[in-house]
Chain A
Amino acid sequence: MAEYTNAPIPEPARDPVVTRLIDSVTAAQVSRRSVLKAAVFAGTSAALVACSTTTESASPAATAAPATAAPATAAPATAAPATAAPPPSGGTIRMGAFEGGLTDGFLPWKSFGQEFAWNWCAQPLVSIAADGSILYDLATGFEVSSDGKTYTFSLVEGATWHDGTPVTAADVAFTYNTGLKTKAGSNIGGRLAPIKGSAAVVADESLDCEGIRVIDDLTIAFDLEEPNAQVIPNVFAIIRIAPAAPFAGKTLEEYTSLPISQELFIGSGPYKMTEFKAKEFVNFEPHAGYKNGTGYSGPPAAEKVSIRIYADDAAQILSTQSGEVDFNYVRRPSGDKLKTLQEISGMTAQQSLVGFNIFFSVNLHSPSAPLLKDKNVRKALVWALDRELLVGEVLGGVFKVPDVVNHWIQKWAVADGLETYHPQNVDRAKELLAAAGWDSSIVLDVRHYPPTLDPDIPVIQAMWEDVGVKIKLTPLPDDTFVADFYEDKDKSTPEDDGPNYDIAFVYGFGTLDGSPWGSDETLGSTRVYPNGFNSMRFKSEEWDTEFAAALKETTPEAQATHFKRCSEIFNDEIPYMPIYQRVDYAVVSNTLKGPEKAPITHPAAGGIHYWEWFIGA
Chain B
Amino acid sequence: MLRFIARRLLIAVPILLGVTVLTFTFANIAPGDPISALVRPGSDVKPRDIEKLKEALGLNKPLPERYVNWLGQVVQGNLGAELVGGGSIAKALAKRVPNTIKLMGTALTISVVLGVLLGILSAFRQHSKLDNAMTVVVISGISLPPYLLAILAIYFLAVVPFQLFGIKLLPAGGQVDPVSTLPPIIDELWHLILPALVLAFAGTATFLRYTRASVLEVMHRDFVTTARSKGLREQTVRLRHILRNALLPVVTVLGLSMPSLIVGAIFVETLFSWPGIGQYAIESTREHDYAAIMGVGLLTSTAIVVANLVTDVAYAFVDPRIRIR
Contacts and interface: CB of A to CB of B under 8 A. Distances in A.
Interface of A: 19-20, 23-24, 27, 29-32, 34-35, 37-43, 92, 94, 102, 104-105, 111, 185, 187-188, 190-191, 256, 275, 277, 279-283, 304, 306-312, 314-315, 318-319, 321-324, 344-345, 477-480, 482-483, 486, 508, 513-514, 521-522, 529-533
Contacts of A322: 154, 158-159, 162, 168, 171-172
Interface stretch (B35-43, B71-79, B301-309, B312-320): B35-43
B271 to A, nearest CB: 5
Given A190-B46, A280-B275, A311-B282, A477 B31 contact: yes
A532 B31 contact: no
Contact of B41 (A31, A39, A92, A530): A39
Interface of B: 30-32, 34, 36-50, 82, 84-87, 151, 154-155, 158-159, 162-163, 166, 168, 171-179, 269-273, 275, 279, 282-283, 286-289
A314 B44 contact: no
B287 A275 contact: no
A314 B271 contact: yes
Contacts of B288: 30
A530 B179 contact: no
A182 B117 CA distance: 60
A250 B101 CA distance: 37
A31 B210 CA distance: 40
B194 to A, nearest CB: 11
A321 B44 contact: no
Contact of A530 (B48, B272, B279): B48
Nearest to B159: A321
Contacts of B40: 23, 27, 34-35, 37-40, 482, 508, 533
A318 B172 contact: yes
A283 B159 CA distance: 24
A22 to B, nearest CB: 9
B283 A102 contact: yes
A318 B172 CA distance: 7
Nearest to A307: B178
6 tightest Cβ-Cβ pairs between the two chains A and B? A42-B42, A530-B47, A479-B32, A479-B31, A38-B40, A30-B287
A477 B30 CA distance: 12
B47 A531 contact: yes
A530 B178 CA distance: 44
Given A32-B32, A256-B86, A43 B42 contact: yes
Contacts of B84: 30
A304 B287 CA distance: 32
Contacts of A308: 174, 178, 273
B293 to A, nearest CB: 13
Contacts of B87: 104-105
Nearest to A344: B163
A279 B178 CA distance: 12
Contacts of B36: 35, 482-483
A188 B162 CA distance: 44
A568 B232 CA distance: 99
Given A29-B287, A479-B32, A533-B47, 8 more contacts: A23-B41, A30-B289, A40-B42, A312-B273, A482-B39, A482-B40, A521-B42, A522-B41
A304 to B, nearest CB: 7
Contacts of B273: 280, 308-312, 315, 319
A321 B40 CA distance: 33
Contacts of B166: 323
A483 B30 CA distance: 14
A532 to B, nearest CB: 7
B267 to A, nearest CB: 9
